[in-house]
A and B are shown apart, each in its own frame.
Chain A
Amino acid sequence: MNGTQLSYAAAVDGVIADEMRADERVFCMGTSPPPALVSEFGPERARTTPIAESAMTGMAIGAAGSGLRPIVLWSCVNFSFVAFDQVVNQAARIRYMFGGQQDFPIVFRARYLNGTRSAAQHSQTAYALYAHAGGLKIAVPSDAGEAVDLMRLAIRDPNPVLFFEPDRLAGDTVAATERAEPRPLGRAAIRREGTDVTIVAIGYMVPLALRAAHRLAATGVSAEVIDPRSLVPLDADTIRGSVQRTGRLLVVDESMPACSMASEIVTAVVEDTASCSALRAAPRRLCTENAPVPFSGVLEDFVLPGEDRIFEMARELSGDVLERAASFV
């Protein structure tokens, strides 16, 4: 370990604090704002709200429309559904509907608790639901470093940005050093280069995919792992370019499959002629099984995508690679 490491929470709260120091228009509110922010900025700029998601979400819209840059702390993604009208009918549409008269820079921050034995309501990613709404940018970090970069970009963006965090990153850490200028929202990261199969993974699925890719390499399959970083806008070009090199696509998304980001990413590839004609196997989705996420660990681990399943599906997709490798033995 080089120098001081920051916990995930301290790192992201630290970015919020940086931005609040740099721009007095930035403030945050939620049912329990981080104590470090309250103690540094006081209760006016790190506001404690009643448990009233509609009100806090609508207030962020009103405040953003009046020149401030609010950060709304929904706590968990599922609580945003209480404010669904304000998110979908208002935040996602207000700029366009009024002819672009006013910008609405807002960050909506929330965790999804998949994989933490938190049961059905708290284990929903919901990013595809909001991607469908249009007018909302969506960032999903895959580690503490990306969380720092994406939060900074989200706060500085002139649009409503949903910042949805896999809670299983809570134990991740990041070096407390100056980071390089982040690539913008809408630019994917190739986290591991490979030649046989493209694995696009979202959020916490990225570290799982990287571990699976490491194991795949030992069996003769070279997997490329792509982290989209933002789901809206989606960097389809990077994904298509990778598939054109590998000819195989696996998308890992810990959401239920119907109308998921996995579906969207597969579609973005197959409807592109150059990418579609480069395919050597039918693209696959690895999603949460079609059931609400159950509490019991044995049940939850069964329905969520896991490292072993990523490994197996990537091998299935790459069957001809393995056969060819075997024929050279």
Chain B
Amino acid sequence: MMNVAVQDRAAPPWEPAQTEQLELYRQLQLIRVFDETVLELRTAGEVEGVVHPYIGEEAVAVGACSQLRPDDGLTSTHRGHGHCIAKGADPKRMMAELFGRRDGYCGGKGGSMHIADFGIGMLGANGIVAAGLPIACGAALSYRMTGSDRVAVCMFGEGAVGAGPFHESMNIAQLWQLPVVFVCENNGWAVASPPEQILAPESVTALAAGYGMAVEQVDGNDVLDVGSAARRAVARARAGGGATLIEAVTYRMVGHAYRGGDVAEQRDAKLLESWRQRDPLLRLAARLRRDGVDESALDAVAAAARTEVDEAVAFARNSPYPEVGDALKGVFAA
């Protein structure tokens, strides 16, 4: 009989102080405004290449990263702007990367799909679905081998669950009891396919539970629900209790990828509206209002996010382009 350790939902939920909740709200707003702006800049052609907006899914990154220390690891995906901001990356350097400028995190060599700040524990942002899972396991292994209590968090979508590296990583993380937290952003779309077209089991947690892993399914549009689950999973990993998979059920409000002139996949209007009602920003704002936060305070957070993104765009526009000779540098370490 398989021993399935399901997280104890009866454990006390995370109850952050109001100032902490306002900080979560600030991050949600910043990610939303950042990606809405990037989408506009892409449509206008000022940002080139492809962008994958995170609009609608912000609570997953913010909730998961709310429980991390700066030295904890994080692997990100092609839809990674929100992961970066939640882990503490500087929007100015992110935007400069999107503009292909010298001050970008990767000096203009990475672009939207590969923005990452290794200085805050990130181990890259991956354009290959499911590729980040083994990398996160390797980071977790290194923490264990060096006697550190660091934790690696791996972000991925439910589209990764059908791929081999997902299963190899589940098996090895559980076998070796690695300090890793797998955060599956089940956003309802594997590129253009809904889960019923790509997943045999009824949920991602059911698959991970089959490996004997601790699992938890949460409301991915409720930052406090995600944060509570992440708090339990991170504590378990730090204490040597092994891996956890959190399935955060959310919804991608916009299309998969934008190269300019793209349109989102055909959506059911009622479904889209039902998710709009569950917008993670609106929900945290409602909670804060209920707890007595002034409307003006919420407006101030939104205005500050707008200002910060505007400053990031100005910074990116003013950043110099890389020298063409830089293209040939950095293939190998000296």
For the complex, is B138 an interface residue (Cβ under 8 Å from A)?
Answer: yes
A245–B128 Cα distance when bound, in Å, is 48
Contact between B133 and A102, CB atoms less than 8 A apart: no
Which A residues are in CB contact (< 8 Å) with B73? 62, 66
Q: In whole angstroms, what is the CA distance A49 to B141 when docked?
A: 12
User: Interface 1/0s, chain A 49-86, versus B by CB < 8 A?
Assistant: 11010111111111111111010000000000000011
Shortest beta-carbon distance, B35 to chain A, in Å?
21
Q: Give me the 5 closest cross-chain CB pairs, A-B, nearest first.
A: A58-B134, A62-B138, A59-B138, A99-B106, A55-B168
Interface set, chain B 138-161, CB cutoff 8 A to A: 138-143, 145-146, 152
Give the residue name and chain of the B residue nearest to A27 (CB). Answer: B145
The answer to whether A60 touches B138 (Cβ under 8 A) is: yes
Interface range for B: 35 or more
> A130: shortest Cβ distance to chain B, in Å?
14
Q: Is B333 an interface residue (CB 8 A)?
A: yes
23 intermolecular pairs with C-beta atoms under 8 Å apart? A52-B168, A54-B164, A54-B168, A55-B165, A58-B137, A59-B134, A61-B138, A62-B73, A62-B75, A63-B138, A66-B138, A66-B142, A67-B146, A70-B138, A89-B131, A94-B124, A96-B109, A99-B105, A101-B118, A101-B119, A135-B331, A158-B333, A159-B332
A62-B123, A98-B109, A101-B119 given as contacts; is B133 within 8 A of A68 (CB)?
no
The yes or no answer to A280 lying at the interface (CB within 8 A) is: no
Are B131's CB and A85's CB within 8 A?
Answer: yes
**Whole-angstrom distance between the Cβ of A275 and the nearest chain B Cβ:** 23
Q: Are A100 and B135 in contact (CB under 8 A)?
A: no
In the assembled complex, B228 has its CB within 8 A of some CB on chain A: no
Q: CB-CB < 8 A to A61: which residues of B?
A: 134-135, 138
List A contacts of B143 (CB < 8 A): 66
* B79: interface (CB < 8 Å): no
Whether B333 pairs with A95 at a CB distance below 8 angstroms is yes
B232 located at the interface, meaning its Cβ lies under 8 Å from any Cβ of chain A in the complex: no
Q: Are B106 and A68 in contact (CB under 8 A)?
A: no
B141 touches A98 (CB 8 A): no
Tell me if B330 counts as interface (CB < 8 A to partner A): yes
* B118 cross-chain contacts in A, Cβ below 8 A: 65, 98, 101-102
Q: Please encode chain B, from 242 to 261, with 1 for each CB lying within 8 Å of some chain A CB and 0 for all others.
A: 00000000000000000000
Which residue of B106, B135, B140, B175 contacts A101 across the interface (Cβ within 8 Å)?
Answer: B106
Residues of chain A touching chain B, judged by Cβ–Cβ distance below 8 Å, are: 27, 44-45, 49-50, 52, 54-68, 70, 85-86, 89-90, 94-103, 105, 134-135, 137, 158-159
CB < 8 Å neighbour of A62 from B127, B136, B334: B136
Residues on B with beta carbons closer than 8 Å to the beta carbon of A98: 105-106, 109-110, 114, 116, 118, 124
B residues 82-112 with Cβ under 8 Å of A? 104-110
A54 to chain B, nearest CB (A): 5
- The reply on B171 being an interface residue by CB < 8 A is yes
CA distance A126 to B329 in the complex (A): 26
- Other CB < 8 Å A-B pairs besides A50-B168, A98-B106, 6 of them? A55-B172, A64-B138, A95-B330, A99-B108, A100-B333, A105-B333
| Min distance, Cβ B330 to any Cβ of chain A, angstroms | 4
How far, in angstroms, from A135 to B104 measured CA to CA in the complex?
21
B172 surroundings in chain A (CB, below 8 A): 49-50, 52, 55, 59
Closest CB-CB distance, A302 to chain B, in whole Å?
A: 37
CB-based contact A68/B175 at 8 Å: no
In the assembly, what is the distance between CA of A57 and CA of B119, in Å? 23
